[in-house]
């Protein structure tokens, strides 16, 4: 049995590792990006000099041979699901028994005039990082377009090289399609405190070129001109389905469509990670969830299915985390950006405006707690998820809140203040 | 185009230094220059400073002309140092030693404080690791990292075996110690020529100054993290009061005729390797009540405090809160913490070397103690065992390599590969302790910051990405992994021993990874 995995990101690699744990199948991972698996979310640290590229590889190089996982650095041109082959750009043909597509995502371009000029780029792949190293060299001013997590990372990266960064965000408040208003404002304040020129409610109209086909400025829909030698496109990512579509047989919509067993419409072809779109959203989840750990869970789930234990994808209770410059963020459970009946929340914010705790509960179910949103404070995953799963009520949660705290020792604790609010 | 220069890691986030940062660096340079000049020209030793002054002048000049941009400050510093020391000799300038000492420590301390406050202590607090792997001053194998390593190593070689070459520095600190401990540090024969030195007070002075200055830098750097602040204040306290002032006061009492002797209360056997040697015990026995107290202190420290405190808090209570070696590593060594190797190979080597040293000192101690009782060795063999360990392990390994190689192998070389106290604490920590680093569920993104900034070379992310708690003998509990984690994954904890080593999540719905 030969398992071929296309993509050596976290989803593909996790699938390979768990297939190896449970079977003796031949496993081949094909990637055109890098020789070895690396942590995509850590690329920013390489650019800022916190680490070398070799430090963001989760496994030592000898790991793969030791676990008999073949790594192949090659570009796959086409998939033929009838003949069960993939063809490489080197014209080599590889036969598979089962094929796993883990092709990740690509950053969005929305057809802006000038979006293909030199100096205009997103940040997703290792190649994007190398390009950014080139582009930053002659950059004094940069414009970032799009206010997601990658946008703020890119702003931080460029600032570390002494670049002046302006930041166009379509929303009226930073990331307010995810964060509730108070947290969203907190991030906005923090961005401004770091001297970024944050423009809320601003959109890109067009990108202007100099004589050499390089970006020289950009104009917002409000007509303001931003001189820049580098323009970062960070208006989200979308599933990378180019290869799947090339087969002519694998069904795609915005992503590669999969059922709860992560199977595509073609037998023995599976898809996991950022590139997929769930036909039916998993319980309490969304159709697209492009985060690190969902790729991991999908890889592990699929490995079981392939090794003879068919397992549906159950990601469990939502959680996530991020860091906006110096501001840490964690979320456990359901925290809507706009609280509507029957959901309410208990919100506490530190007087320094850099820490907050929000506990979301359901009034229609006797104040059952459904989510936690933390800024500048760390909470314990295990406890939060257990409380949510066991339908704990607000009173009980608030009373025992100290159990959830995960901040380092000697940090100030705020349970009393929150108990006073409840 | 030069992308990264030294100023980027020395300087502000925007890649340009602010004027106060420059002022701080200039003052610091004055201090270092004073030190260099004192090293070369102070006191009555003549030939050595003359030769060294010439060498410095020449090296500085060559470096400047050949590589102007890269080593500008550095070559000018060398050049000026050489010039200064030669002029001191030429004019037979005998600057008052106290003035000289105040010059050196004043400028060094003030300059460093101004600079580190400007660099780390202001503005929004957070992790400040930009460009560490980019610049010559901090990247592995960087030119300046190599230079620092050679300088540190050279200093230790002179200190241990050729104190005569440190005449200038010992001369400069002597009046201070004559006042503080009531004793000379340069010894003369009847005819006025030098018969020997006590260089250890100079060493203690530099050591303490380094821990204090770099400790304050560390506090500025991690001022958003109270665990780091408390821990650093603790090592600074133990170095200043218990390992510098208290031994000095005891020495002075001794000089004025009291029946006490200098003693380092923060070191225990086997790090204080000869504490239980017969010769030492016999000597302490002559000290009356004070001697009795010392014996109790040594025994309770080594055999009660070590296991009990380690059970409750892990080995960190000693290694990163009390110990002087650890104190230097955590403060002066902090800029080198990312240089420790994280490979599986180095973990294998570390386990062999550290336990070998432990077995060695254990055997030597037992042998000497039983020989004291039963007298089966001739005294030459006993003496050479003692001397061999003192030279090979205590001086070369702990001193020269342990500190000299900070910029090559990271700031915990001795603690990781050699220290027998760390070995004992580590065994206790692994098998009889409540301490662990808890991994927070499945939040880890395998970014690698924790492993990179682990001074002990533990591949923290290997555990974190599996959702597994970290229980490792070598962990000194510095807490920097937890500080640099961008996702709030790691926490140092002393909670109950139940479930200490298992995966942190119950496996019902979150059994994600192993």
| pLDDT tens-place string over residues B72-130 | 777 777 788 778 777 776 666 666 788 889 988 999 999 999 999 998 998 899 999 99
Picking from A280, A306, A332, the residue at the C-terminal end of a domain is: A306
In the predicted structure, residue B49 carries a pLDDT above the cut 70: no
- So what's the pLDDT on residue A155? 96
Give me the pLDDT at residue B495, please. Answer: 84
Domain-located, residue A55:
yes
Domain-embedded: residue A114: no
pLDDT of residue B45: 60
Gap from B308 CA to chain A (nearest CA, Å): 20
Q: What SS3 state is found at A319? A: strand
Which residues lie across from A237 on neighbouring strands? Answer: A107
Q: Is B346 helix (H, G, I), strand (E, B) or coil?
A: helix
Which chain A positions have a beta carbon within 8 Å of B16's beta carbon? 162
Q: Is the pLDDT of residue A98 over 90?
A: yes
Same domain, A212 and A129: yes
CATH number for A367 = 3.30.390.30
Q: Based on the fold, state whether residues A49 and A67 are members of the same structural domain.
A: yes
Residue A112 has pLDDT above 80, yes or no: yes
The CA dihedral of B36, B42, B45, B47, to the nearest 10 degrees, is 50
| Band (B514; pLDDT cuts 50, 70, 90) | very low
**Is the residue at A164 inside a domain?**
yes
Whether chain A has a CB inside 8 Å of the CB on B379: the answer is: no
Looking at the fold, whether A335 and A386 belong to one and the same domain comes out as yes
Q: Residues A269, A372: one domain?
A: no
Q: Which residues of A touch B513 (CB under 8 A)?
A: 14, 296, 300
**pLDDT, tens only, B201-227:** 999 999 999 999 999 999 999 999 999
Integer Cα distance of B152 and B155 in angstroms: 5
Domain boundary among A306, A332, A357: A306
Distance CA B369, CA B363 (A): 10
Q: Is residue A202 part of a domain?
A: yes
Query: A120: distance to nearest CA of chain B, Å?
Result: 20
In the predicted model, is pLDDT for residue A197 greater than 80? Answer: yes
Whole-number average pLDDT of chain B: 88
pLDDT digits (tens, 9 = 90+) for B457-506: 999 999 999 999 999 999 999 999 999 999 999 999 998 777 676 554 44
Q: Which of A220, A235, A250 is the last residue of a domain?
A: A235
A71 and A43 in a single domain? The answer is: yes
d(C-alpha A33, C-alpha A127), whole Å: 7
pLDDT in tens, A315-354: 999 999 999 999 999 999 999 999 999 999 999 999 999 9
What is the biggest distance separating any 2 CA atoms in chain A, rounded to whole angstroms? 69
Q: What is the CATH number of the domain that holds A187?
A: 3.50.50.60
Helix (H) / strand (E) containing A204? strand A204-209
Q: Residue B119: phi, psi to the nearest 5?
A: -75, -45
Flag whether residue B360 sits within 8 Å of chain A, measured between CB atoms. no
The per-residue pLDDT for B12 is 43
Whether the CB of B496 is below 8 Å from some CB of chain A: the reply is: no
Query: Based on the domain organization, do A83 and A100 belong to the same domain?
Result: yes
pLDDT digits (tens, 9 = 90+) for B50-82: 777 788 788 878 877 776 666 677 777 778 877
Domains in chain B: ranges and CATH: 1-124 (no CATH), 142-432 (no CATH), 434-510 (3.30.70.20)
- pLDDT reading at B338 higher than 80: yes
pLDDT at B295: 95
Q: Are residues A230 and A242 located together in one domain of the fold? A: no
The angle subtended at Cα B400 by Cα B394 and Cα B401, nearest 5°, is 95
Residue B2 has a pLDDT of 39
- Domain with A171, as residue range(s), is 120-235
Q: Are residues A13 and A101 in the same domain?
A: yes
Q: Per-residue pLDDT tens for A244-275?
A: 999 999 999 999 999 999 999 999 999 999 99
* Tens-place pLDDT, residues B219-271: 999 999 999 999 999 999 999 999 999 999 999 999 888 889 999 999 999 99
Section B146-155 average pLDDT: 94
Does B312 contact chain A (CB < 8 Å)? Answer: no
What total of structural domains would you count in chain A? Answer: 3
Please indicate if any CB of chain A lies within 8 Å of the CB of B126: yes
Query: Per residue in A359-388, pLDDT tens?
Result: 999 999 999 999 999 999 999 999 999 999
Residues A226-249 have pLDDT tens digits of 999 999 999 999 999 999 999 999
Tell me: do A138 and A97 sit in the same domain.
no
> Measuring CA to CA, which residue among B325, B183, B197 is closest to residue B249?
B183
pLDDT of residue B269: 95
CA torsion sign, A41 to A46 to A47 to A49? positive
CA distance B429 to chain A (A): 19
- What per-residue confidence (pLDDT) applies to A303? 97
**Per-residue confidence at B350, pLDDT binned at 50, 70, 90?**
very high
Whether residues A205 and A141 share a domain: the answer is: yes
Same domain, A274 and A360: no
Question: Where does A34-148 have alpha helices with state H?
Answer: 43-47, 63-66, 126-136
- pLDDT score, position B120: 92
In angstroms, the CA B268 to CA B115 distance is: 36
Q: Say if residue A175 is in the same domain as residue A138.
A: yes
pLDDT at B1: 33
Q: Is B64 or A223 the better-scoring residue by pLDDT?
A: A223
Residue of A nearest to B503 (CA): A382
pLDDT of residue B333: 97
- For residues B94 and B45, the answer to whether their CB atoms sit within 8 Å is no
Flag whether pLDDT at B408 surpasses 70: yes
Within-domain flag for A30: yes
Least-confidence region, from A65-79, B22-36, B45-59, B326-340: B45-59
For the CA atoms of chain B, what is the radius of gyration?
Answer: 24
Nearest CA to CA, how far is B28 from chain A (Å)? 25
Q: Between residues A144 and B35, which one has the greater pLDDT?
A: A144
Decide if pLDDT at B142 tops 70.
yes
A337 found inside a domain: yes
């Amino acid at each position: 049995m030969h398992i071929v995995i296309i993509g050596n990101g976290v989803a593909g690699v996790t699938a390979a590792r768990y297939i190896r744990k449970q079977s003796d199948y031949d496993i081949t991972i094909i990637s055109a990006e890098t020789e070895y698996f690396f942590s995509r979310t850590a690329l920013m640290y390489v650019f800022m000099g916190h680490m070398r590229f070799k430090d963001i590889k989760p496994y030592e190089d000898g790991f793969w041979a030791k676990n008999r996982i073949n790594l192949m650095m090659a570009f796959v041109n086409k998939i033929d699901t009838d003949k069960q082959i993939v063809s490489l750009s080197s014209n080599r043909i590889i036969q598979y028994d089962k094929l796993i597509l883990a092709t990740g995502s690509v950053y969005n371009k929305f057809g802006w005039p000038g979006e293909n000029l030199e100096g205009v780029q997103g940040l997703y792949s290792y190649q994007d990082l190398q390009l950014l190293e080139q582009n930053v060299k002659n950059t004094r001013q940069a414009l970032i377009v799009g206010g997601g997590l990658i946008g703020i990372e890119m702003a931080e990266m460029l600032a570390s090289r002494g670049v002046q960064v302006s930041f166009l965000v379509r929303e009226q408040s930073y990331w307010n399609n995810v964060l509730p208003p108070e947290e969203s404002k907190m991030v906005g304040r923090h961005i401004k405190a770091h001297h970024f020129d944050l423009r809320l409610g601003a959109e890109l109209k067009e990108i202007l070129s100099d004589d050499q086909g390089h970006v020289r400025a950009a104009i917002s829909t409000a007509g303001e001109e931003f001189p820049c030698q580098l323009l970062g496109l960070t208006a989200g990512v979308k599933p990378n389905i180019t290869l799947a579509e090339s087969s002519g047989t694998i069904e795609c919509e915005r992503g590669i469509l999969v059922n709860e067993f992560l199977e595509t419409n073609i037998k023995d072809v599976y898809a996991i990670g950022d590139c997929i779109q769930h036909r039916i959203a998993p319980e309490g989840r969304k159709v697209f969830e492009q985060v690190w750990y969902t790729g991991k869970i999908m890889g592990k789930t699929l490995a079981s299915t392939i090794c003879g234990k068919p397992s549906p994808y159950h990601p469990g209770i939502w959680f996530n985390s991020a860091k906006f410059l110096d501001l840490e963020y964690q979320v456990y459970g359901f925290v809507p950006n706009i609280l509507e009946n029957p959901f309410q929340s208990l919100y506490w914010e530190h007087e320094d405006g850099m820490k907050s705790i929000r506990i979301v509960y359901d009034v229609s179910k006797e104040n059952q707690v459904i989510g936690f949103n933390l800024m500048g404070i760390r909470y314990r995953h295990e406890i939060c998820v257990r409380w949510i799963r066991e339908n704990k009520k607000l009173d009980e949660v608030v009373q025992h809140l100290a159990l959830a705290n995960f901040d380092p020792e000697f940090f100030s604790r705020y349970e009393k203040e929150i108990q006073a609010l409840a | 185009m030069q992308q990264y220069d030294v100023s980027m890691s020395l300087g502000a986030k925007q890649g340009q230094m602010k004027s106060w940062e420059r002022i701080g660096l200039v003052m610091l340079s004055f201090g270092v220059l004073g030190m260099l000049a004192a090293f070369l020209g102070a006191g009555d030793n003549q030939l050595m400073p003359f030769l060294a002054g010439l060498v410095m002048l020449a090296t500085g000049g060559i470096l400047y002309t050949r590589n102007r941009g890269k080593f500008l400050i550095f070559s000018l510093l060398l050049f000026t140092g050489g010039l200064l020391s030669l002029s001191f000799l030429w004019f037979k300038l005998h600057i008052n030693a106290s003035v000289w000492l105040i010059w050196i420590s004043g400028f060094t301390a003030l300059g460093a404080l101004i600079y580190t406050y400007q660099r780390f202590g202001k503005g929004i607090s957070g992790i400040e690791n930009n460009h560490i792997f980019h610049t010559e001053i901090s990247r592995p194998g960087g030119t300046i990292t190599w230079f620092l390593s050679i300088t540190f190593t050279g200093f230790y070689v002179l200190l241990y075996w050729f104190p005569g070459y440190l005449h200038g520095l010992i001369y400069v600190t002597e009046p201070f110690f004559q006042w503080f401990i009531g004793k000379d540090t340069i010894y003369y024969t009847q005819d006025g020529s030098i018969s020997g030195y006590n260089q250890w007070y100079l060493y203690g002075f530099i050591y303490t100054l380094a821990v204090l200055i770099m400790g304050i830098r560390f506090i500025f750097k991690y001022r958003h993290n109270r665990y780091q602040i408390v821990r650093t204040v603790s090592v600074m306290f133990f170095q200043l009061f218990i390992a510098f002032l208290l031994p000095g006061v005891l020495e002075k009492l001794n000089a004025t005729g009291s029946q006490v002797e200098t003693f380092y209360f923060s070191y225990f056997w086997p790090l204080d390797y000869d504490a239980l040697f017969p010769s030492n015990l016999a000597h302490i026995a002559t000290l009356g009540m004070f001697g009795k107290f010392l014996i109790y202190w040594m025994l309770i420290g080594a055999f009660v405090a070590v296991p009990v405190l380690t059970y409750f808090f892990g080995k960190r209570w000693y290694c990163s809160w009390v110990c002087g070696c650890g104190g230097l590593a955590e403060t002066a060594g902090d800029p080198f913490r990312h240089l420790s190797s994280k490979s599986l190979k180095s973990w294998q080597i570390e386990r062999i070397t550290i336990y070998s040293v432990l077995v060695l000192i254990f055997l030597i101690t037992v042998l000497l103690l039983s020989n004291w009782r039963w007298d089966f060795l001739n005294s030459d063999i006993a003496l050479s065992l003692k001397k061999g360990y003192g030279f090979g392990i205590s001086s070369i390994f702990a001193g020269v390599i342990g500190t000299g190689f900070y910029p090559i192998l990271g700031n915990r070389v001795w603690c990781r590969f050699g220290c027998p106290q760390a070995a004992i604490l580590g065994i206790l920590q692994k098998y009889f302790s409540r301490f662990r680093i808890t991994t927070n569920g499945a939040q880890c993104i395998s970014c690698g910051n924790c492993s990179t900034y682990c001074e002990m070379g533990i591949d923290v992310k290997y555990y974190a990405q599996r959702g597994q708690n970290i229980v490792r003998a070598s962990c000194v509990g510095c807490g920097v992994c937890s500080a640099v984690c961008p996702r709030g994954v790691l926490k140092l904890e002393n909670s109950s021993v139940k479930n200490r080593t298992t995966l942190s999540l119950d496996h019902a719905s979150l059994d994600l990874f192993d």
